[in-house]
Structure 1
Amino acid sequence: MVQAKSLRVCERGHEYYKSSDCRSCPICDKENKPKSGFLSKLSSPARNALNHEGIDSLQKLSKYTEREILKLHGVGPASLPTLRASLEEKGLSFKE
């Protein structure tokens, strides 16, 4: 069953339509996307999930296992190659 899209308004007054229960505003997400760094390479849901957990640096990311990261709502398997590559560029890796 596909849920119908409903009109929503975020805290900053942006109007947008969404069919999921996700509360993130796509307009705010686009405005808040970093210009550089590993977070700039990720989708908004993955970026929001990491930010929500306080993972804003590769050093912090390296303290987690891949499995722990995949458990975060918004992070899927497609994000892992990007995260792995970003870690490897700095000589880091996911926790074993």
Structure 2
Amino acid sequence: MTSTLDTLPKIGAPATRALHGAGYTTLRQLADVPRSDLATLHGMGPRALAILQTALEEHQLSLG
């Protein structure tokens, strides 16, 4: 699965809503955001965080 930096990967509706609610609408915006910060968002679970990390790694980026 190849991700683009201009969209969010498929992570489930609750996690997507959590990111949108926090102002994140693209994968690019999540580069270097602390994983612990994202984990506090309601609806964001370990599986969604892992998907986001994997998608960022495809672009040589990472969560903080």
| TM-score bracket relative to the smaller structure | 0.7 to 0.9
State TM-score, norm by structure 2: 0.79
Q: How many residues align?
A: 60
Length-normalised TM-score, structure 1: 0.55
Query: What letter matches 1:51 in structure 2?
Result: H
1:81 to 39, 50, 54: 50
Bigger fraction of residues in strand: 1
Higher relative contact order at CA 8 Å, sep ≥6: structure 1 or structure 2?
2
What residue number does 1:62 align with?
31
Structure with greater Cα Rg: 1
**What is the DSSP-based 3-state SS (H/G/I as helix, E as strand, rest coil) of the residue aligned with 1:80?**
helix
**Percent identity among equivalent residues?**
37
Instruction: Identify which of 22, 27, 30 aligns with 1:53.
Output: 22
Q: Post-superposition shift, 1:40?
A: 4.3
1:41 paired residue number: 10
1:49-93 Cα offsets, whole Å, 9 max, x none, are: 001111111221114111100000110111121011110111110
- What stretches of structure 1 move > 2 A for 4+ residues in a row? 36-40
Runs (5+) with no aligned partner, structure 2: none
1:71 to 30, 33, 40: 40
| Matched position secondary structure for 2:37 | helix
